[in-house]
Amino acid sequence: MRIVRAKDYEDMSRKAGDIIAAQVITKPDCVLGLATGSTPIGAYKRLVEGYEAGDLDFSQVKTYNLDEYRGLPGDHDQSYRYFMNTNLFDHVNIDKANTHVPDGLAEDYEAACAAYDEAVAAAGNQDLQLLGIGNNGHIGFNEPGDAFVRGTHCVDLTESTIQANSRLFDSIDDVPRQAFTMGIGTIMAARTILVMANGEVKAQAVHDMIYGPITPACQASILQLHPNVVLVADEAALSLC
């Protein structure tokens, strides 16, 4: 795992954004695995700025997002489809038909999850997979548990994740209790994995991801087995390393 140290959130966003931009420039028809949440917003802003400056072309890029809340339609302002449109897709020249987010309203969710994995594989898997890391070490919505789940699946969110996400909703009661998420196998199929982390609240999870035992109690620890992981983190997130 290669560690890129950043001074703060802005520096982290710039460095991570530049890594994603380099992937797009190097392979214009690349497949990107994308993440949501507050961590990558600055990196997406960097990509939009690159497009507006004429340096980036997303017309051939395909994207597959990590996850989506179960029960939220794509036009709900807290859905991850809405997040991606608002923070990136609406501001660059990407073909929306080439952007993919799990269907939060899928009735036969097992079939929908299997189809999502098949679509990622048919696209050739991710050239670059962007990840954040949860306070409890989750990646995507793969929560601490007894096993690493290989494929895209439906998960029950832990209380800590619900609490962490409640700031985005009017009430904690409005936070969905389940989500669809790429599994560990789908994530690990990416040729490059880029992890972003900022803030002291992520320090223990970052430490356990890098130095802890490989255990489903910290889902991010599986990344120790991937041959090409880049961690871009600020000083606070790296304070225990």
- Residue 195: which of 239, 161, 229 has the closest Cα? 229
Reply yes or no on whether 68 is catalytic.
no
How many whole angstroms separate alpha carbon 67 and alpha carbon 71?
12
- Cite the DSSP H helix spans in 53-194: 80-87, 109-122, 159-165, 184-188
Residue 119: how many CA atoms within 13 Å on its side-chain side?
20
Reply yes or no on whether 138 is catalytic.
yes
Reply yes or no on whether 200 is catalytic.
no
Catalytic residue among 87, 136, 142, 198: 136
**Angle subtended at Cα 75 by Cα 134 and Cα 143, rounded to the nearest 5 degrees:** 20
Catalytic residue among 87, 100, 117, 138: 138
Token output for 169: 């909703």
Reply yes or no on whether 67 is catalytic.
yes
Catalytic residue among 143, 153, 198, 208: 143
Token output for 52: 């507006």
Catalytic residue annotation:
67, 136, 138, 143
